Chain A
Amino acid sequence: MNNLISTAHEKEMEGIMPENIVAQKPNPTLVDREDRSTVGEGRVENPKMHCESVSVFYNFGEKEAIHNVSLDIGENEVISMIGPSGCGKSTFLRCLNRMNDTIEGCLVKGQILLEGTNIYDKKIDVVPLRAQVGMVFQKPNPFPKSIYDNIAYGPKIHGLVESKDDTDELVEKSLKRAGLWNEVKDRLDQPGTGLSGGQQQRLCIARTIAVDPEVILMDEPCSALDPIATAIIEDLIDELKQDYSIAIVTHSMQQASRVSQRTAFFHLGDLIEIGPTEQIFLNPLHQLTHDYITGRFG
């Protein structure tokens, strides 16, 4: 017991009368706000992706967006990244399938392995990589093509289908997995852009799974959707984790707590805390995590 309560805390408690207290205090054993090293275990037993000391710089090295982040993405897990705007969570997510390559002057240091292969190796072709590590964006972005072609396009260019029958089968399977088949099966030739926001997002998820990925990255996939469409996507995420690893960036802490098994909290480019979602939201270890999730940030 004595170890649990620090001497500093005892001193802090001295002379405080109950009448002066208006709000409860946090766990006195929380890691100090100033301590920027990662709290919690970023490693998992069977990582699908393994990130080691990843730092990202913009403007040709002028601005460091994330600093020395080490984190694994486990097999069949949903891991969520939370943190205030500009904390680096989306930057980190985009590193995982080299989307940052498209930004001029962006520099990635450290190592990111997908099943043991360094994805930043010069020999790696980013086109199949982005099929292996698919991405779903904040705003649904179906191609200006038919619902059918939205799904069929990727498998065709990646050579995953040989005949029309193969393609038909894959389109149906992908739309079924994304929970969209029953809603669109009679209008597959109509434009994907004509669907509702929630349906468009599920179309994008179907498009991502059509190319048989290992990992799915989701960057605020529900922020443009109503609560029902959000619930359908969250239910889908829960289903998809049986076959894929999913990393999701979200501003909704309720969403992070609902869908993920582990949660990573980023702040000003540092990975501050990583741990089981239950622990992060019930009893975080770092003062910054605590202050962020309880709405005390400042």
Chain B
Amino acid sequence: MQEHIVKSFDAQIDALNRKIEETAKACESQLSSAAQAFEYVDKDLAKSIVKKDDNINRLQREIEDACVRLLALRQPMAADLRYLLSCMKIASELERIGDYAANISKRVTELSETPSKEPSDLILEMIQLCNRMLKNSMDAFFNADAQNAVKVWHKDDEIDRKFARMMTCVRSQMQDEKDLLDNSTQLIFVGRCCERIGDHITNIAEDIYFMVTGRNYMDIFEDQ
């Protein structure tokens, strides 16, 4: 793609891209750590994840500031305008994903014992899937690849199915083993966080689709 005549604009876009990449990587790292903290009920690790969430919040504010500055000073049009609008929205989705990683960790600190295998495995699978989807969505963003963004979007169905299975599992566990009620409640919260992360990643995929094509993916999807 041809560069801008004003080279400093390209440099600012480059810096913004790096900031988005840094935020996405921080989210991936927080999710991986949250999975680890959950798997081994590592409360110290969980506490450190909660602390690190501030970093993602700060990055999101920096991205938002940079976008507002570029919108005001460069008055971008067409693909540049769509790119900046998408960056703002994506940063906000990433910040929410960071919040959910921290929320999962807070729940880990409340767990009284290692959760039972089946729901626990499903939760770990959901976190791993979220992380893969997040990584793929970021690849789609940097490659301006609407097709792969759509693939990520549809992957969310898998998370929803795993969440439904996990809920069935926990429900029957709650009926059978009343003394596990507290732990089961924490599992529901953790599962719900994973399910919401999936939703935020689908939002990112929609933002990428709009950035590349100028169209709203939901309009296309509903027409099909």
Task: Render A3-35 as a binary contact track against B, CB cut-off 8 A, 1 for contact.
Answer: 011000010010010100111111111000000
Closest-by-CB residue of B relative to A293 is B77
Closest-by-CB residue of B relative to A290 is B78
Report which B residues bind A (CB closer than 8 A): 1-6, 9-10, 13-14, 17, 21, 75-83, 138-139, 141-147, 150, 211-215, 220
- Does B2 lie within 8 Å of A28, measured CB to CB? no
- Does B4 lie within 8 Å of A25, measured CB to CB? no
- Dominant secondary structure at the A interface: loop
A27 with B214, Cβ < 8 A, contacts A22-B10, A297-B5 known? yes
Report which A residues bind B (CB closer than 8 A): 1-2, 4-5, 10, 13, 16, 18, 21-29, 253-254, 257, 281-284, 289-291, 293-298
Which residues of B have CB within 8 Å of A253? 77
CB distance from A64 to the nearest CB of B (A): 27
Closest-by-CB residue of A relative to B81 is A282
- Does A24 lie within 8 Å of B144, measured CB to CB? yes
- Does B78 lie within 8 Å of A294, measured CB to CB? yes
- Does A1 lie within 8 Å of B220, measured CB to CB? yes
Which residues of A have CB within 8 Å of B212? 25, 27-28
- Does B138 lie within 8 Å of A18, measured CB to CB? yes
Provide the bound-state CA to CA distance between A21 and B10, in Å. 11
A296 with B17, Cβ < 8 A, contacts A27-B214, A282-B78, A284-B78 known? no
CB distance from A216 to the nearest CB of B (A): 26
- Does A295 lie within 8 Å of B5, measured CB to CB? yes
CB distance from B135 to the nearest CB of A (A): 10
Closest-by-CB residue of A relative to B18 is A22
Provide the bound-state CA to CA distance between A281 and B214, in Å. 11
Which residues of A have CB within 8 Å of B139? 18
CB distance from B47 to the nearest CB of A (A): 32
